[in-house]
A and B are shown apart, each in its own frame.
Chain A
Amino acid sequence: QKEVEQNSGPLSVPEGAIASLNCTYSDRGSQSFFWYRQYSGKSPELIMSIYSNGDKEDGRFTAQLNKASQYVSLLIRDSQPSDSATYLCAVRRGSTLGRLYFGRGTQLTVWP
């Protein structure tokens, strides 16, 4: 079982819709969860972090964490073509200082 798994893409949504990206993780002791956005040919950039159960909102982005289900998601409201990118889920396990475990990413396309 992989440390971090993301729903297979690609995901395609129309402009203005809600895009839902999902991620599950295997280590129940994981403490920190991150969503990075990566445009084609570029490096990842952090868009959200979440550490406790529940929702965390930042503009059009909402991260949701459910530690009991070992599940973290990212919702993008009012999706824009500029949101078209690959979204990487990253998890820090409780037992490993510093390092992150990354999923393979979900490619999102927002069409006008």
Chain B
Amino acid sequence: DGGITQSPKYLFRKEGQNVTLSCEQNLNHDAMYWYRQDPGQGLRLIYYSQIVNDFQKGDIAEGYSVSREKKESFPLTVTSAQKNPTAFYLCASSILAGDPTDTQYFGPGTRLTVL
């Protein structure tokens, strides 16, 4: 099956811990994105990558880090510097960044809760 997978589905973290959220796609998409969604809010962009070994900060990158060592994978690390990490995290990918018809498709999401 082609698609975007995120793991784990639910994640609990103690304060002060770093955690890494996984995002994998087998769609051969060039671009990948990480968003955060808080209750009643839209999606806010954390980081995005258009090519392997390159990524750009989005609007709320502080307290997060990413890597793009493989085209298929774009893991997100939530560090202890992120003050309010409890949220729904969504990974997306698209085939051709920069084309007006370029469409983002989303994975199922990871719900992170800080205890």
Contact = CB atoms under 8 A, between A and B. Distances in A.
A90 B33 CA distance: 14
A25 interface: no
B58 A104 contact: no
Contact of A103 (B42, B45, B108): B42
B101 interface: yes
Contacts, number: 58
Nearest to B91: A43
Interface stretch (A62-70, A76-84, A92-100): A92-100
A19 interface: no
Contacts of B42: 4, 88, 102-105
Interface residues of A, number: 23
Contacts of A44: 43, 90, 106
Interface of B: 31, 33, 35, 40-45, 48, 50, 58, 90, 94, 97-98, 100-109
